Structure 1
Amino acid sequence: MPKINIKINTVKIGKKFNILLLFTQQIYMQLLEEIDGFLKTFGDGMLKDRISYSLTRDRYDSIYYKKLNMKKIGRFLSAEKSNKYVYFHFENYDLKVEARGDGVFKFSWTDGPKLPVENIEFDDLQLHDNTVSVGNYSISLDENGLYLKDQDGKLIYQGYIPDFNEVLSQSLRIFGDDLFSGLGEKAGPINLRGHVYRLWNHDAKGSYGPDSDPLYLNIPVLLHLHDDVSYLIFFENAGDATVDIGFSREDKVTFYFKSKPMVYYVITGDIKSIYSKFSEITGKPYRPPYWAFGFQQSRYSYMSSAEVRSIVDRFNELGIPLSAIYLDIDYMDEFKVFTFNSDRFWDVKDLTKYLGERGVRLITIMEPNVKMEPGYTIYDEAVKNGYFIKYPDGNIFYAPVWPLMAAFPDFSRNDVREWWGKKYDFMKKNGVSGFWHDMNEPAIFVAWGDNSMALSAAQSNGSHSEVHNLFGYYMDKAAYDHLSKTERPFILSRSGWAGISRYAWIWTGDTETSWKEMKQNLLTILHMSASGISLTGCDIGGFVGSPDAELFIRWLQSAIFYPLFRVHSNKKSKRREPWEFGEKYLGIIRDIIKLRHSFLPQIYSEAISSSITGIPMIRPVYWYSSNPDMLLVDDEYLFGDSILVAPIFSEHSTSRIVKLPPGLWYNLYSDEKVFGEIKVEAPLNMIPIYIRSGSIIARDEGKLILHVFHSEEGESAKIYIDAGGEDSELDISVSKDGKINIHRGSSIKAVTIKFHGVYVKGITINGNTKYIEDNLFEIEEGVNELQLIFQ
């Protein structure tokens, strides 16, 4: 083997360390020579950088990263009320209790890094015989821990006294056949009980399937349902953690944190109110642009302006709706963020104009790393102003990613976020409409060990070990804070933390292509909903692999009401544009996409409602039934309160059993009224969809039509309609005797209504009767009341 010249960058951390590093480098020089053949064979030009980084990371962490060494809590001493709060005094710590009468409780044992949560107002607590009372709740304490009870004495939550040492652990009681959901992005079953999960934002290294863990977005939040009681527990901690949900002990859930603080909330009530209250702490979802809910086409990668034009032209020729098309990393100049490859995309302004004339937006991928290249403006500015994350000794943190060695902005700093946000102006001036944040866990290419940042890397709000899970969140905030000054931005992010929907959408990342993973996508999205995340979706068809026509169609159908409706795949996957599956299936695919677009008014309205209430749009069936048999329904979902989707998750299946929540439901296609458990036929061109009676659904059928699904109790809805970037409200109610009241914003003119489930033969307005056909009629501008004439 020929000799090779290798230079590994070293850093000055002290004489002893440099000697140790030199010795270690000598060992690895031999290793590098051995793998020189590998380099030539496989062309991994960054392997030396990976090894260099992994060495440097390990040495820094061995010196600067320190595990916790906490005193034990000790025995309980006394309780004291101070101002509105109550303190339980222990030998070595004080537990501060804050609470609201509507069922929000905060327990603080230690301080720690400042995290992005809202300072909500709490009520004045009462203390009597070591028992705290507020509203209809009481909190008591004994040697076994804390007990939260309602006014009838029913136990809602029991938390044991924490254990402090090298980790901070908090255990909760499991009562019986309990259900647990949440923890962010988890590829687990509908009930996470019996499993152990890590909370550490982590690149899945190109592909993952069911049970892979950890993934890109992790949040220490868990929904707990037991005995018709529900509560949410949320920890203010963005560091590394592990959660044991009844795995080691069937009667306990235990959170283990490697860093401070130990501060957590318990929120109780009905499930929807829980998420509304949770959003007061973490922030409510933002209001996205209307177009973002349409069909989006992506691939790693479309390689030139000409290719993008041809794809968009083909969509138009075939009459397939398209809202946006993506550019993956190959559009950049040497993978440098905020650049375009001038050979492939020399005419980007003309390209975005061309797309815009056809109703299509351009979305570009954005990376959080900056190539280490003097003369590259972004890099030079950040070095000059000290914007990059550094090691504790002041050296800039460098690591290999797509542009080879790169540095990373400290997004936890306000000034860095402001600087970074302004850089998006360059993209906007070139006509880019949306941004796709990738690799922001952050992901790093390593030779061994964790594929992320050194634990000892210093950020403004703590060491990376303490705030790792906030990196992507703050990158998204940087973009959102700047872009939202002039528009409702579209930001799709791979990573984040609690409250991420206030800034960005989340998708399930680089999933494998399989029938099992298609179903797992739904379960993962349901766990994200249980974590308070509203704007979610997946790579339709899976990222790695090539679905056949049946799998692709069923995947497209399953995602029909996911907020994000995007097809994406990697370079090795077969092309996945709708026409690639052949003429036999093109019509089915086109019809699914058209069906999605017909529901855009309803989807948009639900998104605006979510931004007001904080309640996620995608919901599991068990939210709407206390029946134990409904707790484990894992192959259906609800969009809002009114629409139930029952996808086909089995190959060659053309029928399935659907379990409907209590009440009467309508088959979307036939208007058949059904309830309970039913068997439904579902040929390849059909996905079972049901509408709850009493619902009013907005659809675009060439014009806006409100579909009223009759209920004996009447119907009502508040619908938010996009009015050129603003929202216009439409309130409509139908009494059980047929009186309609409607109130609308000034931008809403005539309103068309179609009734289902009852025959309407006419309407009376101001004493004048008009007979109608097909249960369809128009309410003209200025008319706010009318009477239906039933058959």
Structure 2
Amino acid sequence: MHFHKYPYISNFEFASTDAKGNLKTSLGSYSLKVSASDEGIFHLGISGKGWKVNDSQAGLSFKPSSISAGPKLEVSKNRFILRDSDGEVLLESAPRRFFGQCGDASVFEFIKEKADAFYGMGEKWTGLEHSGKTTKFWNTDVWGDFNAEAYVNGRPAPDPVYVSIPYLIIRRRGKYIGLLLDNPHSTFMSTGFKVAIAEQMEVNPEGELLAEELVSKLSDGRIHLGAESGQPNLFILVGPTLPELTRKFQNLVGTTPRPPAWALGYHQCRWGYESARDLFELDAHFTKHEIPADGLWLDIDYMRGYRVFTFDAKHFPDPADAISKLNAKGRRVIPIIDPGVKWEKGYDVYERGRKADAFCKNPQGLEYIGLVWPGQTVFPDFSLPSARQWWSKEVADFASHGIHGAWLDMNDPSTGPADNDQMCFDHGKKSHETYHNQYAFGMAQASREGFIKAHPDQRPFLLCRSGSTGSGRHTAIWTGDNYSNYHHLKTCISTTLNLALSGIPFNGPDAAGFGGDTTPELIQDWYKAGFLFPVLRNHSMKDTRKQEPWMFGPAVLKVLRKYVRLRYRLRPYLYQLFIGNELEGEAILRPLFYDFADTKGLPLGKIDDQFLVGPSILQAPFVQEKQTQRDVVLPGRTRWFDISTGKWIDGGRSITVKADRENTPLYIRDASILPLARVSPADNTFDGSKVDFHVFLSRAGTAGTEYEFDDGLSFAYAKGAYTRLAIEAKLSRNTLRISTETLHEGAGAPDFTVTTTTDIATVEINGKAARKVKAQGVPLGNYKTQTWRA
């Protein structure tokens, strides 16, 4: 696979349209089917010779309907025009340049406007905004497929990486359009097609060579979305706002199932943890240092000779007993599961898989052999329902040891030095490219089914390295093997934001970096930046500096412990964001322009070192080495509460903040009510019924929210075992009046307190005077508060 070579646009023949609406090229006539849903989503499907079958397993939720209102799509007279509900053109092609063909390859072309900005594209390590980018979508094993300078320092940043979601967000004239290729084959995109030849000339979209003095006269280029093969299927979504677009896209590809609350805790991992003894030592350290933690992770060394679904008897003489004891302490054991199965007669997993005919074939019809950790290795063919069923049974048997989550790695698929082009699917009938990008999707789908078989009423937590469109229905994603440096700290923000906008809200990087030696300064900055990322897992590589929180001395430990504890204090808020994604498709981590509009003085579209956590929390971390101060943009016509100073700051402007070892720039939006956990600082237990509502109101007015809780563990909430509460706060002079309404009560009544700043003299709760009580839980920041109870 050539990662930096693409089908060249001048080799495409652009189709004409006949009287019946079919597309015609010199290779034949192709059926064009256009359909629309009442959500403002359009589907363009093209079929014919070579493109008869759509190999996608994404399972998109698209229901065509006949709509009379809303956006309109016209595909006629060899041209494409998309109009909004007012008739304004949102997106169009040039005449006779809408759809092109070059053999098995296909491309859609649209006119680019000069002020366009581009986002999404799934997982890209190349920044937040994607103007002028040409990129490919093909899941890679980054450390195996690129040189070290690329994946360590980003010179240049590796592209493509682990996750392929060919979804482009276009920001145009204040409105948002989404374009999704539902094609699992190797796809590509270009956001302004310009090619430099020997750095002397540029080529316009028509292919004409231009001298240097004419380059400035070029049109602003074109937008291309194409595939090297596979049936052309394009979905077009009209926002018009980014939140509306994101909700539509998330519901199209599937929202993220509500995770167990423990998945939103803190997780500790290292390549080198291999035994029950290692895990009990970790548990003891977390207890000793009073750091809450939910997940203790095992890398490949726990297995017997790296054989999947095994424990080394030397390291785990009784795995079920060890895991049971750790579960009782509130620590979940999360082992790695690789797809590669050792090619070994007598190995029971291999023998059962062979009997089920579950493994990928090579072109000769024999089992495809790769080279991974166990040596010569075969690979499950997750394109087959029967293979997924076999794998889910193996997972279920493995999970019966008391395991409730797994780390799904090497599913790009990574086959070591063996070329995976010879790995075929569907009993050898389908070429590798048909399911390469979907391989991790199938593994995650089957693994989730296996955990639910083993524990039918407990939500599993899966964390996967690779993925594709719709993977968020089955698994969270971590952004792969990164490095301990400030380059990776900064770029992890834009990477996770674009993944969040591309249907993968449950994601995050390896905190403090996987490869290389982290430093005290870096790990502090990383925890302060990432303590509210959806996934918070500290993971490091064997033979690097150990990076557990207590390995850097008392001063660093104090900072790291503070932010882990703060995550647990805010876990009910994070949990609400996940509920919002499951129910509505709402984003969790968000760029600033998700909730706020640009102003002339504050363009938000390229700010990639700040982000929002839901609608109420803004983070502006220090992500550059030895940075002593930074500018912070506070967007919107609102006020922001600085938790470091306890002061309100007017929004709609930029301020300068100095670096501080213990504090990070963290702001709460005015008129917010944050649900906080009422737990002791080192406690990792979750009880959603016991909550503290922290009210932020800077002046007379109202704030409101809804709060939902369940048992945080089971699927009972889906049968009504949840409680949902509406809370409203009204501030008049220095009196705060709280009113609540139970919207649904299936998990008992809430036991809540209310926290305010000290300028509040009296609080009434549901018409009765509240009394001051002792606060529970760590403070959010360096300001004085009061806690009240009815």
Q: CA deviation at 1:701?
A: 3.5
Moved more, 358-367 or 710-719: 710-719
Change (3 A) 1:328 1:354: same
2:178 counterpart SS class:
strand
Moved more, 163-172 or 458-467: 458-467
Q: Could you tell me which residue of structure 2 aligns to residue 150 of structure 1?
A: 84
Cα distance between partner residues in 2 of 1:459 and 1:516: 43
Q: CA deviation at 1:117?
A: 2.1
Q: Could you tell me which residue of structure 2 aligns to residue 778 of structure 1?
A: 789
Q: Could you tell me which residue of structure 2 aligns to residue 679 of structure 1?
A: 656
Change (3 A) 1:724 1:276: closer
Paired residue type of 1:260? G
Deviations 1:199-232 (A, max 9, x none): 0000012662432111111111111101101111
Instruction: Tell me which of 347, 357, 361 is aligned to 2:328.
Output: 357
Instruction: Tell me which of 514, 518, 521 is aligned to 2:485.
Output: 514
Q: Could you tell me which residue of structure 2 aligns to residue 45 of structure 1?
A: none
Alignment: residue pair count: 694
Q: CA deviation at 1:237?
A: 0.5
Q: Could you tell me which residue of structure 1 aligns to residue 101 of structure 2?
A: 164
Pair 1:714 & 2:655 matched: no
Q: Residues 196-211 of structure 1: matches in 2 within 5 Å? A: 196-205=134-143, 208-209=151-152, 210=154, 211=157
Moved more, 435-444 or 685-694: 685-694
Moved more, 571-580 or 346-355: 346-355
Query: Contact 1:618–1:640 (CA<8 Å) still a contact in 2?
Result: yes
Cα distance between partner residues in 1 of 2:589 and 2:310: 36
Q: CA deviation at 1:732?
A: 1.4
In terms of Rg, which structure is larger?
1
Q: Could you tell me which residue of structure 1 aligns to residue 361 of structure 2?
A: 390
Pair 1:305 & 2:276 matched: yes
Q: Could you tell me which residue of structure 1 aligns to residue 132 of structure 2?
A: 194
Q: Could you tell me which residue of structure 2 aligns to residue 65 of structure 1?
A: none
Deviations 1:600-638 (A, max 9, x none): 111112111111112231111121233161111110111
Pair 1:92 & 2:29 matched: yes
Q: Could you tell me which residue of structure 1 aligns to residue 592 of structure 2?
A: 621
Pair 1:257 & 2:227 matched: yes
Pair 1:577 & 2:567 matched: no
Cα distance between partner residues in 2 of 1:770 and 1:505: 42
Q: Could you tell me which residue of structure 1 aligns to residue 494 of structure 2?
A: 523
Paired residue type of 1:664? R
Pair 1:465 & 2:433 matched: yes
Q: Could you tell me which residue of structure 2 aligns to residue 44 of structure 1?
A: none
Q: Residues 67-216 of structure 1: matches in 2 within 5 Å? A: 74-78=15-19, 92-110=29-47, 111-115=52-56, 116-124=58-66, 134-141=68-75, 145-159=79-93, 160-166=97-103, 167-205=105-143, 208-209=151-152, 210=154, 211-216=157-162
Cα distance between partner residues in 2 of 1:336 and 1:162: 48
Pair 1:730 & 2:721 matched: no
Q: CA deviation at 1:720?
A: 2.5
Q: Could you tell me which residue of structure 2 aligns to residue 705 of structure 1?
A: 692
Q: CA deviation at 1:704?
A: 2.0
Paired residue type of 1:232? G
Cα distance between partner residues in 1 of 2:571 and 2:611: 18
Q: Could you tell me which residue of structure 2 aligns to residue 667 of structure 1?
A: 642
Q: Could you tell me which residue of structure 1 aligns to residue 619 of structure 2?
A: 645
Deviations 1:265-284 (A, max 9, x none): 11011111212222332111
Cα distance between partner residues in 2 of 1:103 and 1:79: 25
Pair 1:488 & 2:459 matched: yes
Q: CA deviation at 1:72?
A: 5.2
Change (3 A) 1:174 1:612: same
1:202 counterpart SS class:
coil
2:468 counterpart SS class:
coil
Q: Residues 214-293 of structure 1: matches in 2 within 5 Å? A: 214-248=160-194, 250-269=220-239, 270-293=241-264
Deviations 1:272-315 (A, max 9, x none): 12122223321111111000111100000213222221121111
Query: Contact 2:356–2:387 (CA<8 Å) still a contact in 1?
Result: no
Q: CA deviation at 1:721?
A: 2.2
Q: CA deviation at 1:146?
A: 0.6
Moved more, 572-581 or 147-156: 147-156
Give the alignment's Cα RMSD to 1 decimal: 2.5
Q: Could you tell me which residue of structure 1 aligns to residue 750 of structure 2?
A: 749
Deviations 1:337-360 (A, max 9, x none): 100111122232232123223211
Q: Could you tell me which residue of structure 2 aligns to residue 57 of structure 1?
A: none
Change (3 A) 1:775 1:372: same
Deviations 1:450-473 (A, max 9, x none): x54436555689422122110000
Query: Contact 2:334–2:407 (CA<8 Å) still a contact in 1?
Result: yes
Query: Contact 1:290–1:722 (CA<8 Å) still a contact in 2?
Result: no
2:490 counterpart SS class:
helix
Q: CA deviation at 1:113?
A: 3.0
Change (3 A) 1:459 1:260: farther
Query: Contact 1:323–1:359 (CA<8 Å) still a contact in 2?
Result: yes
Pair 1:633 & 2:571 matched: no
Pair 1:409 & 2:377 matched: no
Q: CA deviation at 1:79?
A: 5.2
Pair 1:323 & 2:283 matched: no
Structure 2: unaligned runs, 5 residues or longer: 2-10, 195-203, 205-219, 680-689, 774-784
Query: Contact 2:740–2:766 (CA<8 Å) still a contact in 1?
Result: no
Cα distance between partner residues in 2 of 1:769 and 1:231: 50
Instruction: Tell me which of 432, 442, 465 is aligned to 2:413.
Output: 442
Deviations 1:334-386 (A, max 9, x none): 11110011112223223212322321110000011111011111111111221
Query: Contact 2:296–2:334 (CA<8 Å) still a contact in 1?
Result: yes
Cα distance between partner residues in 1 of 2:727 and 2:667: 21
Paired residue type of 2:63? E
Q: Could you tell me which residue of structure 2 aligns to residue 763 of structure 1?
A: 764
Paired residue type of 2:726? D
Q: CA deviation at 1:695?
A: 1.5
Cα distance between partner residues in 2 of 1:273 and 1:734: 27
Q: CA deviation at 1:441?
A: 0.8
Query: Contact 2:673–2:705 (CA<8 Å) still a contact in 1?
Result: yes
Q: Could you tell me which residue of structure 1 aligns to residue 739 of structure 2?
A: 740
Moved more, 481-490 or 375-384: 481-490
In the superposition, the TM-score normalised over structure 1's length comes to: 0.83
Change (3 A) 1:317 1:140: same
Cα distance between partner residues in 1 of 2:429 and 2:574: 38
Q: CA deviation at 1:729?
A: 2.2
Change (3 A) 1:713 1:761: closer
Q: CA deviation at 1:538?
A: 0.7
Change (3 A) 1:742 1:169: same
Query: Contact 1:412–1:459 (CA<8 Å) still a contact in 2?
Result: no
Q: Could you tell me which residue of structure 1 aligns to residue 4 of structure 2?
A: none
Q: Could you tell me which residue of structure 2 aligns to residue 696 of structure 1?
A: 673
Paired residue type of 1:98? S
Q: CA deviation at 1:709?
A: 1.3
Cα distance between partner residues in 1 of 2:499 and 2:567: 22
Q: CA deviation at 1:424?
A: 1.9
Cα distance between partner residues in 2 of 1:246 and 1:708: 46
1:677 counterpart SS class:
strand
Moved more, 436-445 or 201-210: 201-210
